[in-house]
Structure formats: structure tokens, C-alpha cells
Structure 1
């Protein structure tokens, strides 16, 4: 207001001066204002703004009659100041002729921001400030903007526990630009404020330790809180006060309140918190009366609710049993079509310490499904997704079947399981509901193109896995983008070679819905591998467990003298050629429930060996050198149940499988006496016979509220039996230990991982006929985005292997523990690395245990 008075004085002096210049007898006094007509308005001092707009903002117009002095000029100045765009506002009369007046609006724009400098912060903190404080170069700098900037910056560091942060913003002129300033933002974070002590007052029914444990983010110093954060965050402290009340409510103290709390600053950036409580009385559940229920009787609803008269009152438990749990009362109705169902729990009366409830139910009519809509499937054909759904038009609405449908869509692997969103669209007017499944495609085809160097030789691999292939569109040129996709079939091709030492080729195809009407799977696979151990000097060296004759244990590949690139093959070479073909057929069961599946497979393998006595010494005797052709015709049946919620990072559910693989009992029908010692290896094992039993079971249990911390529990057992003790199978045994990755010198064996030990170290060179294994594994995700799934893990593991049943001891386990990480990239599949520490020696040898690193490609443990 003081500035406006000065402007009026200046305006009167200017008008008087112009009046004298024009020779007009003109004088102006506050006591005798005079009316003038505005002849012209000029705006000066502006570089960036539109002068016409500013004149409109002032409210003055040419031709308008104003009083000088008067409110028109005063109001115009106030309006221009009100925009907060100017550091100086003046209105002067440049000329007066008679009753005509010429006005000049003189403005000084606020300075523009030329640059911002930060002091006392890291790059990431600077980026955070820049994102949340919009200090744009070229924009005007206002006092209000600077005040807000200081407040926001202080808040950023308060959120991180720096409660004593000081922010000072210095504004200085930019000498290189007119009317521009540079802001120097200086931040002194000081030390993080930590909680020294939390003291509770008025506590009698719960202990201080119980209340401190209830506070998740506000923790005082102490040994018990060694791994918990001690920093004090105001917003987290507010949440923790609510958790204290929740803790009381769980124990029946529904009237508990925090009367007051104080935060006292202490030296060394610490605070003491005093919390004053009024616990109130303890309450119990009384009678529960159901009203409006016609579908289910009250006794049945009482049993489902699970709350009995006399139980300690707990609002949280009541809400869970009514609405949140999988078997809650509301889900009982929602799974039976009652989409419009509503349940309102009302405290009917309170008698002393007992609360009586009325459960007021509105059942409504059963809703039927009208339309089932699928959106977001850009590559996968709609029938592939639709055939996995459990919700069909005309059926009653069911929340459980929607959840099951989401699970089945996740299992396909074509869609991001975190992004699958079922949206019911109810139509109360006709009692129907549309169900829309919003999907997001993710890439799940994989390519493997790699080269590795091990045992001083190069191993090259190329592999292609198309997980959403379409055979029916192979001849359709328009479907090749770059391959025909969308029908959910799997085609995998893989080749691996190290030159003359090792070559392997495989092809497999899986059709999950044979015929397209039922979930009956069909699979076929072909493979061939060839290993010439003589072409690698390592396997013939003293460093190798093979080159110097029979070795009781295989201690891994190691590194030796390497591959002989100039090697020429001869009849003395040690060569193994394995060819195999298999056909499989699987189908789902409806009993005991539809999570069960049965899979049948018939497979034929041919092992062609040359001079393999040192590798399969049990084939060698005085009659031959371990050469010959050996055939394996087997039949396999697997009975399995899989209810995990998603394949890549399961949070709940379980998976079990029991399999029996067997060959015909040739020794019982061919009349050959296999106790004879003159039989050659080829005569004894021309057609291999055995029966092989395997069991695997795994559970996934979420341990945190957000279901991200997951415990995986796993058990395994394997047994290889025989029909004739003189004809025990030399193949199909178990190799236990290490990463579980197959080695090309062990075709015809099951590879079983046991981290913390060297590869195959539990099993002798002959392999083992029995094994068992138990695993506890904690998992936590780093990211679950479609572009990459990454999680870290910690594990404890135990297992062992035995040759004979009489030696079997399920409690004699070789123990290990360690850490690891898994990375799933859609293009490359699953990869990982584990560090494990084996605590036990193997037959007195501790060199195969201890600290071990294991690399994982394309498999789960």
C-alpha cells in the first residue's frame, strides 16, 4: 500500500508537469479529483509477455473515463501485482490535453531462471530434487516458488530420516543474460535422526517389548533390533502408532487410544519418544445373530465364521473371516453366483465386556455370466487363452473360478502374470455380469547362442525355443512374422559342438491341446549325441578321473591339457553315441481335483559304445573292452499335481509328481541264464531292463503381507530297481551333487543337484541306485517385469546317494547352505549363479565340499 501511495504522488507530479507543458491551467488535489478520458495506454519494460494481455489484466481500456486520483488506477496496480510476475509496477501519465490523458504502465518483469547449481547432494538426490521441484530454465523466479522449493527439498530429506536438514537457496544475477538469475541450492543434510529410546506410559496388559515389536519402522537401539532400521521417519511413525492400536485391538482392547506422545531431541541426532496410552477394558465376542440369510442356515454360517461366544474380541480377525480369507463368509456367496451380495456387521449391543453382533445380509439374486471378453492378446490367438478359462457364458458368477482362470492364464507363459486383471462388469438391471480379462503379452521365445571355454576347449551352442508356435500356419505366408505363432505350441531345436570331441543335436515339439477340444498334450522328441573322449587330452591325463583308469568318484570336469585339434580318430578311440526318440501323451484329471495330471511316455534309446571300459567299467570283463550296442525301450507314467499360482516366481501352491519308468522284464521271458560269466557286455545288456521310481514334492508359502518373501520347501527321492540281480542296469542311474547341469560324459543318467558340492561327487563313477534330497529356500523378487524376472535366494539343502538298499539311511544327509540369484530373460530363458558351502566330506574327502560356485542355465533346482 505504501508503494501505491508513492505511485499516486508520482502520478500527480507527472500530470501537473504535463499540464504546465501543454499550457493548460491544470492542478490536481486529493480533495478535488478530476475525471479524464484515457486516450492511449502504453506498456514498457516487457520482453516476454504480450502487452495487449497485460492491458486487459490491468482493467484499463482506451476511451474509458477514469478519476485521477481514483480507484481505477489503484485497482489496476493491484491486479498487476496480483499476478506475481513483476518486481516493480508503475502507472504514469505521459501527457494530458484537456480531459484526455495518456497512460504508461511501467513494469519490471521478475528475473528468469538461467541455471541451477546444487551443493551437498549426490547425483541421485539431485535427480530426485529436479523431478519433484519444477525449476525450469527460462521460467520466472518468484518468492513463493523459492519458498516451496525449500519446503519440498527439506521434505525429501525428512523422508529419508534427515530431520535436521537445512536448505539455503541463494539467488544471484547472471551476468551473461539480462534480467536472469542463477540459483545456488545448498543442502546441509546433517546426520540421520535415529531413535534412542521408546518409552510407553500407562501400559499394564501388554508388555513394552510387544508394543515395540508391533512398530515396524520405528525402532529403538538395541541388540534385538540389530537388523531393523533405527532412523526416525515422521510418516512411518504415524503408521506405527496405528499398529500399536491394532495390536491392542487384536487382544480385545477395542477402546485403546494414544492419549499423547512427545518427541524429545537428544544430542548426536537422536530422539526419545514417549507414548502415553489409555488401554481401556478388554472385550469378548458375544452372540452372533444372522439376519436376511435364506441360502445358508445360521448354524452353517456360524461354523464358517469360526467366531465363538467368549472369544477375545478382535476386529481384524472378524473382518478376515467375513471378507478377506479364502474361505470367508462373503466368498461363500460370491462363489455361488451372489455377485450383488452385501454383508453389514452391526454391533447390536454391548453388555459389560461382551459385544453382541447382528450380521445383516442382503443376498440379492444370483448373477449369471453374460459375456467373457479377452483383451490385450496381440500375438496369442484368442482360443488359446479362452480354452484355459473356467468362466463360461450362462454359468453362475464365481469368484473362485475367476481366480482359477487367472492362474491358468499365468501358467501359459504367454502373458505377464503380474498384469493379468479380471474385471467383472455387473448389470444389476438384468442380473448378469460381463467378465473382462485384461492381458499383457510378454515375449517368451528364447534363443541360445553362446560359446564357452572349459577344459581348454571351445564349446559352441545354438538353440531356438518357440513357446507360442503355430504348426497349422506353416504354409500361410502372411503368418510368418518372422515365424507362425499364436497357437501355444512349443518347438525347440538345439545343437552343441566342440569339434571332434563332442556333438549333440535335439528336436522337440509339444502340442498342449491335441485336437483342440480337450487339454490332452502330445509331445515328440528326437536327439543324438556323440562323444569321443580320446580326442580330449584332459580325459586321458592324470588330472582326469577317467584317464588313469577307474576312479571311485567323479570330482567334476576340472581343467587339464585340453582338446587335441589335430587328432585323427582310430578304432582304439573311446566313443559313446547316444540316439533317442520319445512320444508322450498327457491329460488332466477331474478327481481328486482338476489340478491333477497323468502323463504317459514311450521312449527308445540306443547307446553305441566303443572301448568304454574305463568309463563304464561294469560293462567290461574278461570277455570284452566295453564295446557294443545297448538298447533301452521304456515306458513311463507320471502322476502329478500342480497348483502353483505362476511358473516363474510362484508365491503359493504346491507341485507333486510320482513317476514310474520301466522296461519289459526281458530276463523273465527270454530264458537266458545271466549268472553265466562267459556272457559279453553286449549279450548281457543288449536290452536293458529296470524299474525306476521318482518322487518330487514342493510347497510355496508367502511369509510377508505383500507375498514377495516366499519360502520354498522341496523333497525328492529316487530309486532304481532290477528284475534280475545279475542284470542290474548300467544306465538310468543317479548322479548327485553340484549344479545339476548335465555333462556330456553322463548320458543315460539322471543329474541331481546338491549345491555346495562338486558335480556328481555323491555318486561313484558307476552312478547311484538311490538318492534323497530336501531343500529350504527363501526367495525375494528384485523385479517381476515382463522384460526380466529377477529374484535373490538363500538356501539350506541336504542330500545323499547310495548304491544298495541295505545301505540306505534317509537321515545321513550331506548338508549345505548358500545364496544365489535367478534371472529370467524372455529371449534367453532362466540363468543363475549360486554360491554354496558344503559342510560335510564325502567318504573322508573334504576337497569336494566347502565353498563352491554353481552356474545354472535353463532349469530350476
Structure 2
């Protein structure tokens, strides 16, 4: 069978050329010999092409690359070089640093090489004196690791980390010291621990309580008695917090004069268990219960009393609640902040009527003129270039201060997924009505690796019974904000390679631009006619096998707007494909015309699309509130030589609710989020044109109708409606969550049938638990799905739980 390989060679050449384009002729030159740096040399004013290090033995290259990558492309000046050198010294990994420079053959770029001598490395970490805490647990608590560079200044920090570990376990008398020993192979670090006796809380009591029971108060505090679910560990810092929690609880139910500072501790040694047993008694003076009688404002001219009162969350006549009252005052101050008034002064004055047991307030406001932003600075960005961050913040030097714009900037930065944490602070400027804004970022890896296994259930011993999928992507290559991705599928019946490149700020504007290309080969099956090409009739089999070669190339552009209430996006693009279906056309006649139209010859399949979306989610990749809506229209068939001409509409809706968010520990909240999702896809063929089975909609069992993995070739149509409800419970914040999902998906022959001939028996249902990884570089979902349908008004279960490997997909 003759095969035309010219398009394949062309595709491979294009793929190579596509990724070779960024390398200029100058950059391709070999660098000349390195020279030591001196004042007034040739390298001033030349762009920095690379920064490298020689002499690294124990230092991870990523640690230093993250520091230096942000300087690539900068023009060499004394200021730039000094900033680079300061950052290298700040990581405190080297005893000696010797800079050298070299250039390309034409001297148009600068290559900087730092020849370094590392500080000694940690050979061993030893622990002595620990009896109640395992050595491995102590080593996990310290940040210092064996074979890493030894930094003497970290020893005091590591001692505190070990001490904190013991305090969490109730060892209030622990003492930790450290010592070091230098050897030829590195530094031995020894931590010496005097554990002391553990202090265990055996009883918590309260005196003076009349309005609230001891059982209720025990639920409000963090210290717990030793029991089945608690070790009863005592920490002095927790006791101080519990005093405030008790007072806060009373003040939220009207007891504004409560006193809870008086605490007695009774220690009883228990020699048998070798511990000190502690009884804690809180002596409480409840006072009287007060109701709230209102608030008056003084000094407000910018906003009226009515505008300020609209921010109050507590109304006159209600039992006084200090939390609601303080939230109300915060709402008032935020109203001023959001309009640029940061230099105002606020003072609440309490007016307490002890006879009538009421409390009111006078809120004195000293108004000043609006504040302007004097400077905007970024801290913590070792890799990401500063302009990549500042362009996402809709507030600039000279603007009126706006907290709303700052919150919008924080939302934009979090959605980039370049940072594990983003926060901000404002500092007084050089004058009273000037402020300096500081945005602090903690960078994280932007390289993601996805992999998957799909089991096909083939019985041929010469074929692999599974397909391997792998994808590598860096969404912030060299800190530039650009994204590069490579993915591949390898299996007996399918092989593919795809490459993509995207830019979120094209030409310095909030314009997105992307290009992607893919080459693939697969062995497929299709329904065939019982009458063969030679006229014979074969009723014994219904399928024919064919090979499909495909090369695809796509371009897209988009524009986004970021008002305070949402992110609005408008995008469009063009996709083109070359297809060739290889089979014996004299022997087989496929039912699907989209197979026969590309039989043994290369043909085009093109499409153009446009999309519009509105995103109100608080964070797009792991939202807990907000909504998302999008509409995408795609027209297939752009040239007369194509075989299919149809319109595809794709509508998506998402909604998120936080059901509850209960603080359990200082660093963890028990939280549940309810998610609802609906996706409606419709195909409308042009008059006189058909749609082949391979272009029709189906349930894949992986992203929609999860668990229905065996019907994607059997159930296809021109209308699909997929609905999902999920209950999401974060276990480890921003790392891991437990979910329970319910899916309902339906495929119909036409949009008309979906809207006018739909019943519950048409749906494919599935439900089950799952584990969702929230790390951007590891976006996996592990699900167990049980499938069922409604037949004759009753539920018909498949009676089998199926494992489904899926991915976390963010709709944008």
C-alpha cells in the first residue's frame, strides 16, 4: 500500500523549525574565552545571554538558577551586576565567588560565569537525648539536611524548630542545644536534647460560670484534656490564646465586661507514667449581658450617615456581638480605603448604660485628603521578572490608593499559579498622603508533569493493553511569563507528539497569543458496509480497521479585561489539520463518510472558533466561591475541498459555595465547598452536509460521565449535556482534597431531540469518592466511580466500582 510521506516530513520539519526560531544567529555562535571583569570593559551595555556557575558539588543548580534567571536579557550595567551579586551572596552558599565574562564570537552578548567555592556541606545530623520523640521525626522538623551546604546561622533556628516540636507534644521543660564538628568530608551536626518530663492536661475546670456551661467552653478553647482523641499536650502560648477565646465567646453573646485572665494550674507528678499531670482552672467573671442600642458618627463629610450605617452588621435592639461590631467598623474603614482615603483616623467611643444594660458607640472620624501611591515594589521574586508581576496589578505610581484594585491584583497574581503565596502591605510614604505598596510573593515551581494510563482491554498478545500519556509544561519559562509545553502518547495503536507555545501579554498588552502543533498516528476501527468494494457480501463482521495519520497546527489570540468584579475574556483562533486514512478501499467501504473522504490521500480539515467568558471565581484553579460562564462557537469546514461543514456550540457554567469554614487548629480549617457544573455541547450541520461518527460528541468516562469508560464508541450524537455536583473537603490546604462527585451525562442524536425528547432514562449516572491533588505541577484526580441508569422508574446499578484516573482541568 503506497503512502505519501511528504506531509509527515514537512510536519516534522515545521516542528523543529518552530522551536528553533527563538535562537538567533548571534546566539548560535560559540562563546569566546572567559576573561576576568574589570572597569570600562566591552561588556557594558550588552545584553546578558547566560549566567552559569562552576564549582557546584552539593548545591542544587535550581537554587542558583532561580536567583540568576531573572537577569537574562538585561543590559549589563554596574547596578544590574551589583544586584545580581547581592542576590548570590544573600543565599549564603559560597565562601568564594570569582566572576568571569565571555561573549559570542561577535561580542554582542555577555555570558557571566561565577567560579565558586562552596561552604562545607553537612555530613551527618546526629540527635542524642531523645527518648519520647523519634530521631526521624526530629530530622523532619529541621530544615537542615545531610549533603546540603552547612549554614552556621541556621543552627539557632533549627534549635527552635526542635523545641517547638516538643512543645506541641507537651514537653514544656525541654532544652535543646547544638554543636558541630568539622571533618574532611564535611560538618557533623549534633543536637543534644534534655526532654524533661511531659506535662499532660488531665482536667480543665471553670469557676464563676452561670450563663455558659463548662461543656460549651471546652469546645471553644484549643487546649484539650487527655483522652481517646487528644494527647492532652500543654502549651503556655495556647493557654494565652484560650483566655482570649473565652472572652471573645462571652462578648459575642452580650457579656462585654467578662474577665477570663485569672487561671490557676495545679501540677501533680505521676511517677508511674513519668509525667506531670496538670489541672487547669479558668476563673471567670461573667458580668452583665448588654444589648446594642446604636451608633452615631462624628466628623464624616465624605460619606453620609446612611452610607456608613449600611455597613453595620448589627442592628439596635440585638444582643451585642463584638465580632459583628468590629466587622462593621472594618466595613466602614474599607469604604474609605477603597476610595483612596488611607490617612484618616478612626476612634470608637463606648457609651455604656449600666442601668439599662445597653451599649452604644460614637464613631469619631478624622478625614484627610485622598492618598496616592508613591511606589510599588515586589519582594520574593527570584525567578519571575518584575514586569511580569507588576503588569498584573492594576495600580501604578501616582494612582489614587484603592484596596479594591489591590485585591484585583492579588487575584490576578494567584491565578498565574507562579506563587504559593501572595500578600501585600502598605507603608507610609515620604509625605502624609503618600503610600508605598509592597507585594510579597513566594515562588513555586511552574513546571508541571502529567502522566496517565488508559487500559484498552485488548486481547492480542502482540499489542500493549494500555496507552501511556505524558505531558511536560513550564508556564513561566525563565521567569518571562511565557508557557511552553510538550506532550506525547505512546501505545501500540496510537502515537502522538504535540508542542505548544503561548504568551499572555503579547506586545505588552493583556493580549494572549498561542501556537500549537501535533503529529499523530493511530490504528482505528469503524463500522463498514456488509457489501465489500468488490461487490461481495460479508455479514460475519461489522468493523474494519484503518490507520490514521494526522498533522495539526493551531493559532489563537485573545483579549482580557480585569474589572473589580470579574475577569472578562474574548478569544478566537484557527485550527488546521491534514488527515490521511489508510486502508484497502477496494475491499472495505466504511459507513462513516469522514473516514472514506480521506481514504489513502491527504486532505484538509479546518476550523475557526471564537469564545467569550466571564470569571468571578475567587481563584480559578481551586475556587471556594464565585462563578464562571463561557460560550465557544466553532465552525468546521473552511475550504470547498473539505467534507464536513458544521457549527459546534459549547456552553459551560460553574458555581461554587462554601458550605462551612470552621477553624480547628491554628493552621487548619475544616472546610467544605459545594461545586455545580453544567456543559452543553451542540452540533448543527450545514444544509446538505453530514457529520461523521468520529466528529460526533461522546461520553469519555474520564472527564464527563466519569466511570462510563466503555461506551465512547457506542453512544455518539450531535447533542451532549453533562452535569456534575461535587462536595470538596480540603485535607491539606493547597495540596490535597477529598471529594464526592455525582455525574449525569446524556447524548442525543440531535439538538432537537435533546430539547424535546429527553427523559431521565436517557442519562448515564455515576457517583463516588475521589482524591484531588491541588499542586499545579501534579494536577491528578484519583476517582472510584459506580455507574447506574434509571430503567422503568428504578435505579439499575452496574454493581462494580471502577478506578478512574483523571486530571484537574481549569476552565478559562
**What residue ranges of structure 1 are gaps of 5+ in the alignment?**
1-113, 133-148, 168-182, 470-484, 536-547, 552-571, 671-682, 741-751, 785-789
**Residues of 1 paired with 2:773 and 2:730: CA distance?**
10
Are residues 733 and 277 of structure 1, via their aligned partners in 2, closer, same or farther at CA, if it must alter by over 3 Å? farther
Map of 1:802 onto structure 2: 747
CA shift at 1:715, angstroms? Answer: 0.8
Map of 1:291 onto structure 2: 298
**2:281 pairs with 1:281:** no
Alignment deviations for residues 783-841 of structure 1 (CA, whole Å, 9 cap, x no partner): 76xxxxx323222322222324113549967242213141647xxx3243514242636
Conservation of the 8 A alpha-carbon contact between 2:631 and 2:649: no
> Which aligned pairs between 1:113-512 and structure 2 lie closer than 5 A?
118-119=130-131, 121-124=133-136, 159-160=168-169, 204-206=210-212, 210-218=216-224, 229=230, 231=232, 233=234, 235=236, 236=238, 239-258=241-260, 277-323=284-330, 328-350=331-353, 352-414=356-418, 416-418=419-421, 420-427=422-429, 429=431, 431-446=433-448, 456-457=463-464, 464-469=472-477, 485-498=478-491, 501-512=493-504
**Residues of 2 paired with 1:154 and 1:435: CA distance?**
36
Alignment deviations for residues 559-579 of structure 1 (CA, whole Å, 9 cap, x no partner): xxxxxxxxxxxxx74223344
**Residues of 2 paired with 1:653 and 1:384: CA distance?**
26
CA shift at 1:333, angstroms? Answer: 1.1
Alignment deviations for residues 135-189 of structure 1 (CA, whole Å, 9 cap, x no partner): xxxxxxxxxxxxxx9xx999976742589x999xxxxxxxxxxxxxxx9999797
**2:661 pairs with 1:703:** yes
CA shift at 1:330, angstroms? Answer: 0.9
CA shift at 1:586, angstroms? Answer: 1.5
**Residues of 2 paired with 1:128 and 1:380: CA distance?**
29
Conservation of the 8 A alpha-carbon contact between 1:366 and 1:396: yes
For residue 515 of structure 2, the aligned residue among 521, 524, 527 is 524
Q: SS at 1:807's partner residue?
A: coil
Are residues 605 and 204 of structure 1, via their aligned partners in 2, closer, same or farther at CA, if it must alter by over 3 Å? farther
CA shift at 1:301, angstroms? Answer: 0.8
For residue 759 of structure 1, the aligned residue among 709, 731, 739 is 709
CA shift at 1:343, angstroms? Answer: 1.2
Are residues 274 and 187 of structure 1, via their aligned partners in 2, closer, same or farther at CA, if it must alter by over 3 Å? closer
TM-score (norm 2): 0.63
Q: SS at 1:316's partner residue?
A: helix
Are residues 362 and 625 of structure 1, via their aligned partners in 2, closer, same or farther at CA, if it must alter by over 3 Å? closer
**Residues of 1 paired with 2:455 and 2:629: CA distance?**
37
CA shift at 1:513, angstroms? Answer: 2.4
**Residues of 2 paired with 1:256 and 1:233: CA distance?**
24
Are residues 549 and 431 of structure 1, via their aligned partners in 2, closer, same or farther at CA, if it must alter by over 3 Å? farther
More strand, by proportion: 2
Conservation of the 8 A alpha-carbon contact between 1:348 and 1:358: yes
Map of 2:72 onto structure 1: none
Map of 2:769 onto structure 1: 818
**What residue ranges of structure 2 are gaps of 5+ in the alignment?**
1-125, 145-158, 176-190, 527-539
Q: SS at 2:520's partner residue?
A: strand
CA shift at 1:253, angstroms? Answer: 1.7
Q: SS at 1:830's partner residue?
A: coil
Are residues 772 and 194 of structure 1, via their aligned partners in 2, closer, same or farther at CA, if it must alter by over 3 Å? farther
Map of 2:613 onto structure 1: 640
Map of 1:778 onto structure 2: 728
TM-score (norm 1): 0.60
Map of 2:646 onto structure 1: 689
**Residues of 1 paired with 2:141 and 2:569: CA distance?**
55
CA shift at 1:357, angstroms? Answer: 0.7
Alignment deviations for residues 534-557 of structure 1 (CA, whole Å, 9 cap, x no partner): 89xxxxxxxxxxxx9679xxxxxx
Map of 1:179 onto structure 2: none
Alignment deviations for residues 593-632 of structure 1 (CA, whole Å, 9 cap, x no partner): 5511122233344554456999998627999999998865
Are residues 811 and 611 of structure 1, via their aligned partners in 2, closer, same or farther at CA, if it must alter by over 3 Å? closer
Conservation of the 8 A alpha-carbon contact between 2:781 and 2:808: no
TM-align CA RMSD: 5.1
CA shift at 1:275, angstroms? Answer: 5.9
Are residues 800 and 261 of structure 1, via their aligned partners in 2, closer, same or farther at CA, if it must alter by over 3 Å? farther
Map of 1:599 onto structure 2: 571
Q: SS at 1:656's partner residue?
A: strand
Map of 2:780 onto structure 1: 832
**Residues of 1 paired with 2:588 and 2:281: CA distance?**
74
Conservation of the 8 A alpha-carbon contact between 1:495 and 1:505: yes
**Residues of 2 paired with 1:735 and 1:770: CA distance?**
7
Conservation of the 8 A alpha-carbon contact between 1:658 and 1:696: no
Are residues 612 and 359 of structure 1, via their aligned partners in 2, closer, same or farther at CA, if it must alter by over 3 Å? farther
Map of 2:8 onto structure 1: none
CA shift at 1:426, angstroms? Answer: 1.6
**Residues of 2 paired with 1:616 and 1:311: CA distance?**
80
**Residues of 1 paired with 2:547 and 2:787: CA distance?**
37
**2:792 pairs with 1:792:** no
Map of 1:575 onto structure 2: 547
Are residues 520 and 158 of structure 1, via their aligned partners in 2, closer, same or farther at CA, if it must alter by over 3 Å? closer
Are residues 760 and 659 of structure 1, via their aligned partners in 2, closer, same or farther at CA, if it must alter by over 3 Å? farther
**Residues of 1 paired with 2:680 and 2:243: CA distance?**
53
> Which aligned pairs between 1:544-555 and structure 2 lie closer than 5 A?
none
Alignment deviations for residues 372-413 of structure 1 (CA, whole Å, 9 cap, x no partner): 233444444433222222111211112222222222223333
Map of 1:12 onto structure 2: none
